[in-house]
Structure 1
């Protein structure tokens, strides 16, 4: 079994900005609260955006970055968690999934100083909110290659300890087989987190 970074919480909740403070007050301290977006780390007139300092003031200590459903600049340097989204359907069908994912990972790696505070999430764009899920084989293939990239381009220790989680229409019906893959360290759950089947997803890795 690969070592898991001791600084990385096992559970995260990513509420809308308006509910960060409420979530932090209600949740057990062992569950980390994360923002869904972060703007630039520099101060300035970015009306309507949320900065790292604002996020910390609200009680969150992590943030999802690079989500394909979000547009505009996001901050990698100085943030607490980096999110990697995957390829579009056209890119997968063109056979360039690996190229797309590695290019995204390099941008993250070039800006990360402390890998103990990073969780990577692979989420193929074609599986976001569509009900389509990558097959366990497809997900494992990307996770395995991503871990191999970290080993070759960062270090073996980082490759072994960094959590790589999968997102993309994970459900109670698909979670167990996905969780059985050797490089699957957890899930980034969307709609299913609001349904009773979320319990099955939580327990899938046990």
Structure 2
């Protein structure tokens, strides 16, 4: 039992140092998920452990997982330190304890990863909806600008026509005034 507890101490210490190093760049959602993981880790591991105690097939799976984990962990550590060691298998009780804890934590982390993925997808969908709304608003404004340009061109054409008519009316008025003046002078 001492060996698996030591493994957990090392894992916890390593994880805590990683959390402390990354703490300054964690978003509130990540901090919340870490808190949830820490909160639900023990109950889930205990539930998995109870299941393993009642079902020998499940227990053998947990023991196998723990033995492989212990073997890989010890081999990796010995290679990192350059000291070859012989890996001793864990007792059934230690392996059962370690296996259930590993599986319980894997479940909690898996669920947490699923929640993060769900939140990311939801956020992405919201961002996509906002982007589509923004594009629609831009297209609407561009359509209005185009309509105003056409209206402005039409008004410019109408103004030219009105000026032409004013000039023509002024010419007609001048012509009529001169005819009237001539008529009054002659008569």
User: TM-score scaled by structure 2?
Assistant: 0.21
Higher relative contact order (CA 8 A, sep 6+): 2
Q: Which one has the largest radius of gyration?
A: 2
More strand as a share of residues: 1
More helix as a share of residues: 2
